[in-house]
């Protein structure tokens, strides 16, 4: 087990500086344009592919870093550049992790390369879980997958919503219900290969922020996929369902739910790190501005009212990063999340991003409110962090349930 450290090692520092360079030179200058266009920034993704940032190798290297700091460091730097573009770059990684976590070696080898495409023909992937009537309440999902034994095929029907890269992805990973009696334990994930008939894009959402990231509904109408597209395979699914049914029969669904919760605890710090990146970006703009903008014959930072805001902003950002790094270290080292430390880090970092970006607008005054300066975009972007991957309210539910052991509603 790696010791917890707040110091990046030399190799990590090198990667961080390389990512920072990409974020500063390629992502940040393109941010305003793609925010206005509200389209996937394919040329930037391609540029990231050329440098190796948009690849499974890079993502896996950070993901399996034993210190746990690889992913949070990478997310912070990329999202410092711009949240919408960075989400377009890392969105595929989120779908790939679904396959890495649940797929067989063959599935990983077959599908993950198709998620990324190659340098000359980049592709993206989508992870589709949320539905119009199943957002926070994942267990109420309705998309059904039924096994056609004669053909060894799964038939999938339903509507997914809010899918990042939904409909434009080469490969979609779709979560569907196999046994509705078992709640979220009766769900399974499927690969939907490129150009599968029956899968189509529904509405593309026009959003408040992260507008360079494509978000859309995904319609699944009689989609048929081979048995080999069930992540983990049928045998493993049958064993898992049998265990869940047995536990349900004995009234043990509580423990079943906790296993699913552990997975979320491990993935949420990554979203916290994205929020830290956006918050830091806005704070840096505000600090520079406060030191150079003069009113009443002196820089505005000379006023405690402004300087103390910056002090609070930086304190919150550093505290958020510490919570994120702690939770990421715990996740990679298999430490139990006895106080829901993963949720804690996501909650604090996302709320920090919202507060800090709003304070940055205030410090820039009228300029902060315009699109001539990036902080209004950062503020719009920051609003997503308290919503996706579990809203702030859901994080508080998880934390309070974990602390109390009570079924708080
Ligand atoms: C830009 C964007 C990208 C996304 N990307 C993806 C993706 O790639 N794949 C995917 O599957 N999903 C994705 N999502 C979906 C996202 O995870 C959901 O929006 C989120 O889980 C919340 O669900 P909901 O929108 O249905 O809100 P609801 O669950 O309807 O919540 C509405 C409000 O009620 C509150 N609330 C609900 N239940 C409780 C409770 N028990 N106690 C207290 N408050 C409660 C919530 O906190 C929230 O404030 C994305 C969403 C957005 C906006």
Averaged pLDDT for residues 174-196: 96
User: At which residue do the structure tokens 């045998």 appear?
Assistant: 235
Residue of the CA atom closest to atom 36 of ligand 1: 393
Average pLDDT score over residue span 64-83: 96
Select from 67, 84, 329, 356 the least CA-distant residue to 209. Answer: 84
Q: Is 70 exceeded by the pLDDT of residue 258? A: no
Closest ligand 1 atom number to CA of residue 137:
29
Please spell the DSSP secondary structure of 75-94, one letter per residue: HHHHHHH-HHHHHHHHHHHH
Output the residue whose Cα is nearest ligand 1's atom 19. Answer: 388
Of 131, 162, 220, 383, which is best to mutate to test ligand 1, by the most ligand atoms within 8 angstroms of its C-beta?
162
For 155, which DSSP code? E
Written out in words, the top-level CATH class of the domain with range 255-404 is mainly alpha
Query: What is the pLDDT, as a whole number, of residue 396?
Result: 98
Model confidence pLDDT, tens digit, residues 279-289: 999 999 999 99
Percent share of the chain, pLDDT over 70 = 97
Selecting among 77, 217, 265, 389, the annotated active-site residue is 389
Q: Are 27 and 91 in contact (CB under 8 A)?
A: no
- Closest ligand 1 atom to Cα of 138: 21
Separation of CA 336 from chain center: 21
Q: CA 382 to CA 270: how far, in whole Å? A: 14
Ligand 1 pocket mutation, candidates 205, 391, 395, 401, criterion most atoms within 8 A of CB: 391
The CATH fold of domain 125-250: Butyryl-CoA Dehydrogenase, subunit A; domain 2 (2.40.110)
| Ligand 1 centre distance from Cα of residue 36 (Å) | 25
Interval between CA 291 and ligand 1 midpoint (Å): 39
Given CA atoms 35, 38, 44, 45 in this order, what sign does their dihedral have? positive
Position with higher pLDDT, 378 vs 102: 378
Question: Given this model, what pLDDT does residue 256 score?
Answer: 44
Radius of gyration of the chain (CA): 22
Identify the pLDDT of residue 255: 47
Helix (H, G, I), strand (E, B) or coil at 4: coil
pLDDT at residue 1, rounded to an integer:
76
Q: Which three-class secondary structure state does DSSP give residue 129? A: coil
Whole-model pTM: value is 0.97
Mean pLDDT calculated for residue range 253-268:
65
389 and 267 in contact (C-beta within 8 Å)? yes
Domain ranges, ordered by start, for the chain: 10-122, 125-250, 255-404
**Please, which pLDDT band fits residue 252 given cuts at 50, 70 and 90?**
low
- The alpha carbon of 389 and the centre of ligand 1 are apart by a number of angstroms equal to 7
Pocket lined around ligand 1, Cβ cut-off 6 Å: 127-130, 135-136, 162-164, 207, 210, 215, 384, 387-389, 391, 393-394, 397
Q: Output the CA 138–ligand 1 centroid distance in Å.
A: 9
Question: Could you tell me if 145 and 156 are in contact, meaning their C-beta atoms sit under 8 angstroms apart?
Answer: yes
Distance 140 CA to ligand 1 centre (A): 13
Residue 397: pLDDT above 90? yes
- pLDDT at position 251 over 80: no
Do 10-122 and 255-404 agree at the fold level? no
Average of per-residue pLDDT across 318-326:
98
Pocket test for ligand 1, best of 135, 184, 192 (most atoms within 8 A of CB): 135
CA of 175, closest atom in ligand 1: 11
Distance in angstroms between the alpha carbons of the first and the last residue of the chain: 36
pLDDT of residue 90: 96
**Ligand 1 center from residue 161 Cα (angstroms):** 10
| CATH class of the domain whose range is 10-122 | mainly alpha
What residue's CA is closest to ligand 1, atom 32?
136
**Annotation marks residue 389 as catalytic:** yes
- Confidence check: pLDDT of 371 > 50: yes
- pLDDT at position 29: 98
Indicate which residue's Cα is closest to atom 29 of ligand 1: 136
Distance 334 CA to ligand 1 centre (A): 27
Mean pLDDT score across all residues of the chain? 95
Q: Whats the size of the chain, residue-wise?
A: 409
136 Cα nearest atom in ligand 1:
29
pLDDT tens column, 110-163? 999 999 999 999 999 999 999 999 999 999 999 999 999 999 999 999 999 999
Residue whose tokens read 């509603």? 409
Mutate to test the pocket of ligand 1, among 131, 220, 387 (most ligand atoms within 8 A of CB): 387
pLDDT at 206 over 60: yes
Ligand 1, atom 26, lies closest to the CA of: 135
Atom of ligand 1 nearest to the CA of 210: 1
């Amino acid at each position: 087990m790696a010791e917890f450290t707040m110091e990046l090692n030399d190799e990590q520092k090198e990667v961080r500086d390389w990512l920072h360079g990409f974020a500063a030179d390629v992502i940040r200058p393109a941010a305003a344009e793609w925010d206005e266009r509200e389209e996937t920034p394919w040329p930037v993704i391609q540029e990231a592919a050329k440098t190796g940032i948009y690849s499974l190798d890079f993502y896996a290297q950070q993901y399996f870093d034993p210190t746990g700091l690889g992913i949070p460091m990478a997310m912070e730097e990329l999202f410092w550049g711009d949240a919408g573009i960075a989400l377009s770059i890392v969105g595929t990684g989120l779908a790939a992790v679904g396959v890495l976590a649940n797929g067989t070696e063959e599935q990983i080898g077959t599908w993950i390369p198709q998620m990324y495409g190659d340098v000359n023909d980049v592709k993206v992937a989508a992870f589709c879980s949320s539905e119009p009537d199943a957002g926070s309440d994942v267990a109420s999902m309705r998309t059904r997958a039924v096994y056609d034994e004669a053909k060894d095929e799964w038939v999938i029907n339903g509507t997914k919503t809010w899918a990042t890269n939904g409909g434009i992805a080469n490969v979609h990973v779709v979560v569907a219900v196999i046994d509705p009696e078992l709640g979220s334990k009766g769900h399974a994930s499927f690969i939907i290969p490129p150009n599968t008939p029956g899968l189509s894009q529904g509405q593309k959402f026009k959003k408040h922020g992260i507008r360079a990231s494509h978000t859309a509904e995904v319609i699944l109408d009689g989609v048929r996929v081979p048995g080999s597209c069930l992540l983990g395979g049928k045998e493993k699914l049958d064993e898992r369902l049998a265990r869940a049914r047995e536990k349900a029969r004995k009234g043990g669904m509580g423990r079943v739910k906790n296993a699913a919760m552990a997975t979320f605890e491990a993935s949420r710090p990554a979203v916290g790190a994205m929020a830290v990146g956006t918050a830091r970006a806005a704070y840096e703009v505000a600090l520079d501005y406060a030191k150079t903008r003069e009113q009443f014959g002196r820089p505005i930072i000379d006023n405690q009212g402004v300087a103390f805001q910056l002090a609070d902003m930086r304190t919150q950002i550093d505290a958020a990063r510490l919570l994120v790094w702690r939770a990421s270290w715990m996740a990679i080292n298999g430490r139990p999340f006895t106080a829901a430390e993963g949720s804690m880090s996501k909650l604090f970092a996302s709320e920090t991003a919202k507060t800090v970006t709003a304070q940055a607008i205030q410090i820039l005054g009228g300029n902060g409110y315009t699109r001539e300066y990036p902080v209004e975009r950062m503020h719009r972007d920051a609003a997503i962090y308290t919503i996706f991957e579990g809203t702030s309210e859901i994080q508080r539910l998880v934390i309070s349930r974990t602390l109390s052991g009570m079924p708080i509603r």
